[in-house]
Structure 1
Amino acid sequence: MKQEHNALIDQKTRCAWADSAPDFPRYHDEEWGFPVTDDRRLFEKLCLETFQSGLSWRTILNKRESFREAFQHFDFHKVATFDEQKVAELLANKDIVRNKRKILAVINNAKCAQEMVKSEGSLAAFFWRYEPDEDSLPPPETQTTCRESIALSKALKKLGWTFVGPTTLYAFMQSMGLVNDHAEHCFMRSKIDQMRKKLQRP
């Protein structure tokens, strides 16, 4: 079965990064770039991008289920209630990235997310407001920020969010489908284009 799966993988032309680790093809084919409007999933991804800062995505992907368990499946209403005792528990959890600044950032951002829902109706409504104009973007896989990720970063920081730099937010936009950054030759690019055309924006 594994050999068949690998054979199937070899028959598809993907983004270059997707073949750099055994667990990347499935993530690339089933998640990365799919347009997302669900608030919990948006918050989860932003938190995971925070933890990835300075690390590899493979490290975070391998620990994702542990992160989900530790952070109440990224229900930001629950995460916003985390206290000092909970922070201590997280710092003792060897199955996640034990970085106090990042843990505190996630808790802070959960509180900011609550406020955003009150003022904007949803996280999706706010984030998708910064969807880049595809005609203004350079070719796929050629940049780590864009005008909109810089603007979104400034807007979130003004609202009190932390660990939300332009590079982190562009990676967030790529993975959550706000921009289709699959390579021109990638078999997923046209599929993501179709999904984005059918998407009902919040």
Structure 2
Amino acid sequence: MISYKEIFCKVESTLKSQSKLSDEEFDIRFGEYKNYENRDLSDDEYFDKLTKVVFYSGFKAETVTKKLDIIKYHFPDFETISNYDEGRINEIFNDESMIKNKKKILACVNNSIVFKGIVEKYGSFRSYVDSFEIDNSFENLMLFKEEIQYRFAFLGEITSYHFMTDIGLPVLKPDRVIARIFKRLNLIEDEKQLLKTVIHGRKFSHENRFPIRYVDIIFVKYGQMGTDDYFGLEDGICLKNNPKCHICGIKEYCSYPIA
């Protein structure tokens, strides 16, 4: 039987041991992700998260993170963006400091119009989310996912989960990092099994009594490549290439062939 509690505790403690932060600072910074569920977000905060997901889609996280200030400058709020004309769109595209992807820029403009329509119909985006009664069943949660994929540009199978995770809904983002770890743990057979990855993520959340956003960030940082000064990490542990099996706290559960 899978020990979701034991596995997660070992992932968490191993990550903490590899961080340059003190235990207290580690708990504070990662602990921010324990307060994501049922947050009271404004309409503009919801739209800001949607815009970020569009730009992160298919790009390296570090590439987009460096551009967040200029993205926010050009996409301040959905009301303003919904009035952008072709001239303003070209101005954004021609900004040398901006990410050069016209499809994403157009997607954000089109999404602002759709978003505005939802707010006008339901009174707020939060009311729109609540109309699905997501807390009542997993089926309702999946219906919401299907709905936003249909309505918004650049929300695909993974990015729709990404948006849902960021607005505090009880799913993790089944990206390549988490899917890779879950496959090595024999929780899934193929990294393309997104729904199964999400279900296991919910089980980790339930068994450890942690919000799923916290579960998500712990696993992501465990397998993500690259320095992260905020979390005091030089690199993850369960990397795609050359994973650090010698310090991994869950290698006893892992199927990765150790040389």
Q: TM-score range by the shorter chain?
A: 0.5 to 0.7
What secondary structure does 1:189 align onto?
coil
Partner of 1:171: 162
The CA RMSD over aligned residues, in Å, is 3.6
* 1:189 equivalent in alignment to 2:210: yes
Q: Residue 33 of structure 2 contacts residue 213 of structure 2 at CA under 8 Å; is this kept in 1?
A: no
Q: 2:49·2:163 contact (CA, 8 Å) conserved in 1?
A: yes
* C-alpha separation in 2, matches of 1:116 and 1:8: 44
Question: Which of 31, 37, 44 matches 2:41?
Answer: 37
| Cα distance in structure 1, aligned partners of 2:114 and 2:85 | 16
> Deviations for 1:83-124, whole angstroms, at most 9, x for unmatched residues?
111111111123332211111111011111111111111111
Aligned partner (choices 152, 155, 171) of residue 144 of structure 2: 152
The CA deviation string for residues 120-166 of structure 1, in whole angstroms up to 9 with x for no partner, is 11111113444754985xxxxxxxxxx556533432455x5322223
Q: Which residue of 2 aligns with 1:127?
A: 129
What SS does the corresponding residue of 1:95 show, helix, strand or coil? coil
Q: How does 1:3-152 map to 2 (within 5 A)?
A: 6-8=20-22, 12=26, 26=29, 29-30=31-32, 34=36, 35-71=39-75, 73=76, 75-130=77-132, 132-133=134-135, 136=138, 150-152=142-144
Judge conservation of contact 1:32–1:175 (CA < 8 Å) in 2: no
Percent of matched pairs sharing the same residue: 23
Following superposition, the deviation at residue 68 of structure 1 comes to 0.7
What is the aligned partner in structure 2 of residue 161 from structure 1? 152
Q: 1:33-57 CA deviation, whole Å, 9 max, x = no partner?
A: 6234211111011111011111123
Query: 1:130·1:152 contact (CA, 8 Å) conserved in 2?
Result: yes
The Cα of 1:174 is off from its aligned counterpart by 1.2
**Distance change (3 Å), C-alpha of 1:188 and 1:156:** same
Aligned residues: 163
| CA distance 1:150–1:135, change in 2 (3 Å) | closer
TM-score by length of 2: 0.52
Question: Do the aligned residues in 2 keep the contact of 1:76 with 1:110 (CA within 8 Å)?
Answer: yes
Per-residue CA distance 1:164-197 (angstroms, 9 max, x = gap): 223212111112211264865xx9936979xxxx
**CA 1:32–1:55 in 2, change beyond 3 Å: closer, same or farther?**
farther
The one-letter amino acid paired with 1:176 is I
User: What is the identity, as a one-letter code, of the residue corresponding to 1:7?
Assistant: L
